[in-house]
Amino acid sequence: MGSSVSKAALGATTDEFMEPEPKHLTDLIQYINETNKSVEHLADVLSEKTRSSSWVVVFKALVTVHHLMVHGNERFIKHLASRDSLFTLQNFLDNSVTEGPTMSTFIRQYSRYLNEKSLAYRLIASDITKTKRGMDGMMRTMNTKELLNTLQIIQIQFDALLNFKANPDELTNGIIHAAFMLLFKDSVCLFAAYNEGIINLLGKFFDMRKSQCEASLDIYIKFLDRTTKLAQFLKVAEEVGIDQNNIPYITQAPQGLLEALKQHLASLEEKNDDFPPSKFDVKSPQSSEMEITDGMNWSLSPISIEPFVYKCLGHSKCSINISQQCDGADDDDDDDGGFVHSTPAH
């Protein structure tokens, strides 16, 4: 590792009461994007900085790592995921300055999220916030077993992100604000992948075995709860001045969909049958509406719900269009007849 890159890593993590300087982050991004350069020593330097007793140094080191995860070459997070352990800051506390205890709480929450992000990469073998989306994307093409496993991994990572519970009046310095901005970007991209997994899950639900339906229903109920928590997280983003055009506006899913899923599972339990009923036994369709709109131009549109069959409008085709905030967005997907389509926020 060249001396200039060492200088950039150290420069990004000084004890100055300010966010990591952009010029140092740019140098580090350029370094890890060069495929002939090793990222191991860089990771070692940043990891060592998290062992400081100063909350400023530790927080800046975490922000720098997160910045490189989000904006740098994937091999950086791949290397972090290969390590036996990443950050052990669950007991971190800086009592040396007035704001130390408060910032220490956020450091513990933030480091846990970065650990979960790294672990998710190890388990899924990709950064879920950057995977391809759309009809032929990763979350939409998984088989049932793989999908159930991946959605549970996403839920754990999403929980860790939403556990960073900062109020607008606590985002008072450049360091924690920089961390929040990176978390905001991850929250939007992670939820996009999470949402696509749920679309796939619902599309398979009425053809699943009873045990899979039980697991899927639990995942869907947790998805609804996390959607509510995400809305609260995004409200903070709005209050700290993030452009409303970049903030999703989320409404709750219809109760009718959840009831249809519960009804189907109950029918399997009543029959003590682990297999789904024949599609020829399905009753006449009923409908319910679900809409999620946002300023980033993606939404959940009206859907068709039959008592034992879930399908999207447009011949069971579903699509997602999301802004270029997420690297995996499929901007060429013109399918507008699905579960997710473009609509402006109000």
Q: What is the pLDDT of residue 325?
A: 61
The helix/strand/coil state of 177 is helix
Show the DSSP H helices in the chain as ranges.
3-12, 22-33, 40-49, 55-71, 74-82, 100-124, 138-141, 144-162, 174-205, 210-239, 255-270, 313-316
Average pLDDT over residues 206-224: 95
Average pLDDT over residues 298-320: 30
pLDDT at residue 306 tops 50? no
Burial (CB < 10 A; 0-12, 13-18, 19+), residue 184, is: buried
At residue 340, φ and ψ (nearest 5 deg) are -125, 130
* pLDDT tens digits, 230-248: 999 999 999 999 998 899 8
Q: What is the pLDDT of residue 342?
A: 26
Stated length of the chain: 346
Buried b (16+ CB within 10 A) or exposed e, 330-339: beebebeebb
Q: What is the pTM of this model?
A: 0.82
CA distance 76 to 33: 9
Average pLDDT over residues 250-262: 84
Nearest Cα to Cα of residue 339 among 316, 318, 311: 318
pLDDT band for 340, please (50, 70, 90 cuts).
very low
* pLDDT tens digits, 104-121: 999 999 999 999 999 999
Please state, in angstroms and as integers, the Cα–Cα distance from residue 66 to each residue in 59, 99, 118, following that order.
Answer: 11, 22, 10
* 33 contacts: CB under 8 Å, gap ≥ 6: 72, 73
At residue 16, φ and ψ (nearest 5 deg) are -70, 140
Average pLDDT over residues 289-316: 30
pLDDT band for 272, please (50, 70, 90 cuts).
confident
